[in-house]
A and B are shown apart, each in its own frame.
Chain A
Amino acid sequence: MVATTTTSVFNLDAWMKQKATGSVMIEHVGDFSSEYIDSVLPSVEQNLNTYIEQDNVRKRAFHIFIECIQNLYHHIESNPSLIDSYADDKLGAIVMTKDELGCRVSTGNFVSKAKMQSLGQRIDRLNAMDADEIKQLYRDTINNRDFSEKGGAGIGMIDMRRKTGNKLQYAFYEVKDNPELMFFSFDVCIS
């Protein structure tokens, strides 16, 4: 089961705790400014050097981490003020862990309910493709699609699916007292 939608009340602290298993290389909740990303990259690289021996896996994991954290930079839009302690105008979350199965990057952000279906369908389509189909889609997309208004190239998820060879995992959680928002939980495994 790759995708889930749950109607349970969403709790960000519980989500973080659930994701932060194994060796935690980074965990952060808040805004994702360019300055924050600058500040965190050296320690993430240092942790990857500590936890991952194989050069190519370590390099791939860092690449996926950059795509994930920059997705948050481009796409987090709001903070529904669920929890008083998170006062940032924009709220997202990231956790990167390593266990015996490999490395995992988990991200979370709030999306409008209207976007939920198309986002889920898009990931489902990528997960259903084989390696050759993904490669071709990547090439077609990079060649034909323009940058989005937010400056993203729209190929991050295709690239993550292609480079890891693993299915992208996601879930949507309903947000208490806010019927227009969903929490989008997204996981990429690098093994």
Chain B
Amino acid sequence: MEAITIEESSKTPYIFMDPEKGVLEIKGRSIPENSIEFYKPLTDMLSEYSEQEMRKTTVKIQLEYFNTSSSKCILDIFKRLEVMYRKGWTIEIFWYYDEDDEDMYESGEDYQSILTCPISLVEVKY
């Protein structure tokens, strides 16, 4: 499997996934009108990735804004990772939030409450 990079736009985040290194990064704004269509290449890749040999996987999410349809797509990504976690994969998820962004912190807590896979909330100071 080859790495994918999706460049950031005014409404969509930068996405980088390297299956060989077990790294996934999502950064920026996620406010597209059609989130399902936007995230499909990534969810398709995760489906294929989950059939590969188990490896440590590190996921870093750092969003400035995300709309409610993106929040559902991100949960879908996390649920795919959770299935892998339950099969014995080592999955590390880091959810970054700006120090005064209470809403982004609460979103991280929402995902923690829904998932059994551990999510670390990481404050970003500036």
Q: Which residues of A contact B (CB under 8 A)?
A: 34, 37-38, 41-42, 55-56, 59-60, 62-63, 66-67, 70, 73-74, 135, 138-139, 142-143, 147, 151-153, 155-156, 159, 163
Contact = CB atoms under 8 A, between A and B. Distances in A.
B10 A155 contact: no
A70 B75 contact: no
Contacts of A63: 65, 67, 103
Interface of B: 10-11, 31, 33-36, 65, 67-69, 71-72, 75, 100-103, 110, 113-114
Contacts of A56: 100-103
A183 B95 CA distance: 41
A138 B33 contact: no
Contacts of A156: 68
B10 A139 contact: no
B43 to A, nearest CB: 13
Most chain B CB within 10 A, of A38, A74, A151, is at A151
Contacts of A147: 36, 69, 72
Contacts, number: 66
A119 B100 CA distance: 34
Given A66-B65, A138-B110, A74 B75 contact: no
Contacts of A37: 33
A62 B72 contact: no
Contacts of A135: 110
Contacts of B34: 151
Given A138-B110, A147-B36, A151-B33, A59 B71 contact: no
Contact of A143 (B31, B36, B75, B100): B75
B106 to A, nearest CB: 8
A152 B114 CA distance: 20
A155 B72 contact: yes
24 contacts: A34-B33, A37-B33, A41-B10, A56-B101, A56-B102, A56-B103, A60-B103, A63-B67, A66-B67, A70-B31, A70-B33, A73-B33, A139-B110, A139-B113, A139-B114, A142-B72, A151-B36, A151-B69, A152-B69, A153-B35, A153-B71, A155-B68, A155-B72, A156-B68
B114 A143 contact: yes
A51 B31 CA distance: 23
Given A142-B71, A143-B114, A151-B35, 18 more contacts: A38-B10, A56-B100, A56-B102, A60-B103, A66-B67, A70-B33, A70-B67, A74-B33, A142-B68, A142-B75, A147-B36, A147-B69, A147-B72, A152-B68, A153-B71, A153-B72, A159-B68, A159-B71
A59 B33 contact: no
Given A142-B71, A153-B72, A163-B103, A62 B110 contact: no
Nearest to A71: B68
A155 B65 contact: no
Given A151-B33, A153-B72, A67 B67 contact: yes
A37 B31 CA distance: 11
